[in-house]
Structure 1
Amino acid sequence: MKSNYGSVYKMKDKPRRNPWRVVKTIKELNGKVKRQTIGYTRTKVEGLELLAKYNTNPYSLDTTKMTFREVLEKWQIQHFEKLEPKTIKQYKSIYLHFEPIKDIPMLELNTVHLQGLFNNLELSTASKRQLKAVLNQIYKYALKMEIVAKDYSNLIELGKKQVVIERKVFTNEEITKLWKYKELEFVDTILIMIYTGLRIGELLTIENKNIDLENRTIKGGIKTDAGKDRIIPINMEILPLIKNRMRADKTHLITGMRGKKMAYQRYHMIFTDLMEKLNMNHTIHDCRHTFASLLSNADANKISIAKIIGHSSYLTTEKIYTHKDVEELKKAVDLIKLQ
């Protein structure tokens, strides 16, 4: 093979699970040339395939810094080649649940991170089992590439062994306090979740183009068929908060310092910091739990509650809501008022 293409050779120093080493000649910024390992494979054919794929789509060789997101992207390049478009779409919907760990270096992930992720998922045991199976595949790839030395996904516990998280609603006094400090950066986002029932993953994906201020509606939502792209009415109380956040130069309602879509990990840090400053003890999901409780306490129509939250199997033809539907949903959220 040409030196600038790379090579594959078998290591004979000791027995290995993946004895074939794939190397590549890399030219650094300072002009120096050195050989770096791309990965290790079980057979020479696999090594040649890996080298070909690397030359087509080079990636960072510093595996110690590769995030879960980067490993996921590299794994799917190989995995998706064998799958049908419909199956690929299903995989991509599963990836949404990995959002909390995507920016963590793969090498730093451990049982605490992964078990915590699974404990906080609002999924059935069967769905969690499917998610774990995908994670197993990603770890097998990471082991093959020697990005990690251990498969922590096998240690994740499902079902009855999971810790049950106690949900606590925000009290009226706490909500009043949030309104008092609404000018404090990002407190408005907590109020928006409390008055809309949006999950944080959903709120962070809301684009301004899907917000209709005149008709007081948001089109958004993820996860289930009933929850995707649902119509979410905007309570009159938070209409000014949403309006103030909308900027012509930004695509998303909630953005970071550079005006880009905010990552879940970053928002989680902000939320935790705010809870400490305001002397409150809540998880992000307590906002959604509070919304459901407030609607229920206000005797809102149960069907309307289910539609807004996206928990039911309610589906309109081609996901289109009639004008009457939307009006009923707005009446329901407007019942939320502090005593």
Structure 2
Amino acid sequence: MLIKCPECELQVSDKALSCPHCGFPLKSEQNTVRRRKSNKRRRLPNGFGQISEIKNRNLRKPFRAMVTVGKTSTGRPISKPLKPESYFSTYNDAYAALVEYNKNPYDLDPDITVKDLYERWCEVYFKTLKSDTSKRTIKAAWAYCSSIYDMRAKDLRARHIKGCMEEGVAIIKGEKRCPTAGVKSRIKSMFNLMLDYGVEYEIVDRNYARTFNVSDDIIKESTESKRGHIPYSDRELKLLWENVDMIPYVDVILIQCYSGWRPQELGLLELRNVDLDNDTFTGGMKTEAGMNRVVPIHPKIKPLIKARYEEAIELGSDYLINCTDTKTHRSNNMLTYDKFRHRFLKIVEILKLNEEHRAHDGRVQFITAAKKYKVDEYAIKYMVGHQISDVTEKVYTKRDVSWLKTEIEKIK
């Protein structure tokens, strides 16, 4: 199409940038070249890993994630497939998996030692445990396995685990000790779980701990070595009462003897669940029947309960029984099973009680005394949290606290 030049008024093409006759500029020169959009994905940081797309195959998950596990002598990265999953549907999924791995990298080297495997497993498994006692149990069992610490995990076989169970030695308080039947069983359980973790992350090919069972001899030895619980004799109970104001925590043992709480339950008795007006306290754990059960406060131990109650208020504690003899922060005054057991054994030693006594024996004492003084069978089960199988009693019979009080006060 022809137009007129504004300057010379001669005809020129409408596409011309300037008039060919007089040189008058008709359009400013424009760069119309557009930058091509790049399909190149963002480069991953050094040492982060790599993602490659496998093409020319009909794959549901074509994106493979690799992690950097080291470098060659020439400085080139050594990469291995991400575990436990290496292939992903999209680039973003693979990228997210690498991000998660790099937050807490785990060793993909199949040549890690048994000790390395133990430490990695503990880091994960200990987070699932609520009790410090469980952690100490595992650490105690591991102490007998020093002969295989430096073995490659993938070379571990059943015979090595059995060797630790039968011939392992641990240094405890400067003394060499061999594993008892109970420790042998715990070693086996520890390797069961640890090697399950190893198989999941392809550190080992097979869990050899699960290829054998604990022998009948170990089970028999373990059963025979377990001491039964025993009640306190009349002489021992008299000694406890005579020293209740002399030796710390004797009062806690007496509270247990007249209420039947487990050691752990004593430490978990909350102040808000202690009713001094109606002489009851509520607590419990372990089973459905044992949880949130109401136990009347026996008249003999009410002064002890009241003293502990007032002490807890003064300390600002939420719990009835507190350990004020520990050099810890106030929030750590709670009575745990280990703290109770430690103090209990000291009392046994000081008063020269039967050395066979254990921390649960106050509960045994309560049940034994209840039966001696003809306390109703179901009242005993309600108070100690034992399962009641009789449908009529469990479902259709409604018992009130006054009935439990009448029954518990039969105990002299």
Deviation at 1:185, TM superposition (A): 1.0
Distance of 2:401 and 2:185 partners within structure 1: 34
SS in 2 for 1:252: coil
Map 1:24-39 to 2 at 5 A: none
Superposition deviation, residue 220 in structure 1: 0.9
Could you say which residue in structure 2 is the equivalent of 1:232?
A: 295
- What's the counterpart of residue 305 of structure 1? 380
Q: 2:237 aligns with which of 147, 157, 175?
A: 175
Aligned residue number for residue 362 of structure 2? 287
Aligned residues: 268
d(CA) in 1 for partners of 2:280, 2:122: 33
TM-score by length of 1: 0.62
Segments of structure 1 that go 5 or more residues without pairing to the other structure are 8-19, 25-41, 77-94, 120-131
Q: Is the 8 A contact 1:220 1:228 kept in 2?
A: yes
Q: 2:83 aligns with which of 32, 36, 45?
A: 45
1:328 paired residue among 403, 407, 410: 403
Instruction: Name the structure 1 match of 2:343.
Output: 270
**Residue aligning to 1:72:** 125
Cα distance change, pair 43–56 in 1 and its aligned pair in 2 (3 A): closer
Give how far 1:173 is off.
1.6
Q: CA deviation at 1:63?
A: 8.0
Larger radius of gyration: 2
The equivalent position to 2:197 in structure 1, one of 141, 150, 158, is 141
Q: Is the 8 A contact 2:265 2:285 kept in 1?
A: yes
User: How much is the aligned-residue C-alpha RMSD, in angstroms?
Assistant: 4.7
TM-aligned CA deviation for residue 46 of structure 1: 2.8
Alpha-carbon distance in 2 for matches of 1:50, 1:182: 62
Residue deviations 1:281-321, cap 9 Å, x none?
211111111100101111111111111111132799999x9
CA-to-aligned-CA distance 1:127-180 (integer Å, 9 cap, x gap) = xxxxx989943663389899xxx9699659658962352222101221111111
Distance 1:56 1:227, change over 3 A: same
Equivalent position to 2:259, from 196, 211, 219: 196
Structure 1 counterpart of 2:271, from 200, 205, 208: 208
Q: Secondary structure at the match of 2:382?
A: helix
CA contact (8 A) 2:181 2:221 kept: no
Inter-CA distance 154–296: structure 2 relative to 1 (3 Å threshold): same
2:280 to 206, 217, 222: 217
Q: What is the aligned partner in structure 2 of residue 252 from structure 1?
A: 319
| 1:162 maps to 2:223 | yes
Question: Structure 1 residue 187: deviation in Å?
Answer: 0.9
Q: Distance in 2 between matches of 1:255 and 1:65?
A: 36
CA 1:160–1:234: 2 relative to 1, 3 Å: farther
- Going from structure 1 to structure 2, the CA distance change for 1:221 and 1:44 (only over 3 Å counts) comes to same
Distance 1:117 1:180 in 2: 42
Post-superposition offset of 1:44: 2.6
Give me the whole-angstrom Cα distance separating, in 2, the residues matched to 1:222 and 1:334.
Answer: 24
Residues 69 and 102, structure 1, Cα contact 8 Å, conserved in 2 = no
- Whichever residue aligns with residue 140 of structure 1, its letter is D
Q: Sequence identity, in percent?
A: 24
DSSP-derived class of the 1:227 partner: coil
CA distance in 2 between partners of 1:100 and 1:4 (Å): 37
1:44–1:254 Cα change, 3 Å: same
3-state SS in 2 of match to 1:218: strand
Task: State the 1:51 CA deviation.
Answer: 7.9
Alignment partners' CA distance in 2, 1:50 and 1:242: 57
**TM-score, structure 2 length as denominator?**
0.52
Distance in 1, Cα, partners of 2:200 & 2:180:
22
- Residue aligned with 1:275, SS: helix
Q: Structure 1 residues 56 and 301 mapped into 2: Cα distance closer, same or farther (>3 Å)?
A: same
Which residue number in structure 2 is paired with residue 104 of structure 1? Answer: 136
Deviation at 1:52, TM superposition (A): 2.4
Higher relative contact order (CA 8 A, sep 6+): 1
Task: Output the CA distance in 2 between the equivalents of 1:53 and 1:206.
Answer: 43
| SS of match in other structure, 2:294 | strand
Which of 165, 182, 187 is matched with 1:115 structurally?
Answer: 182
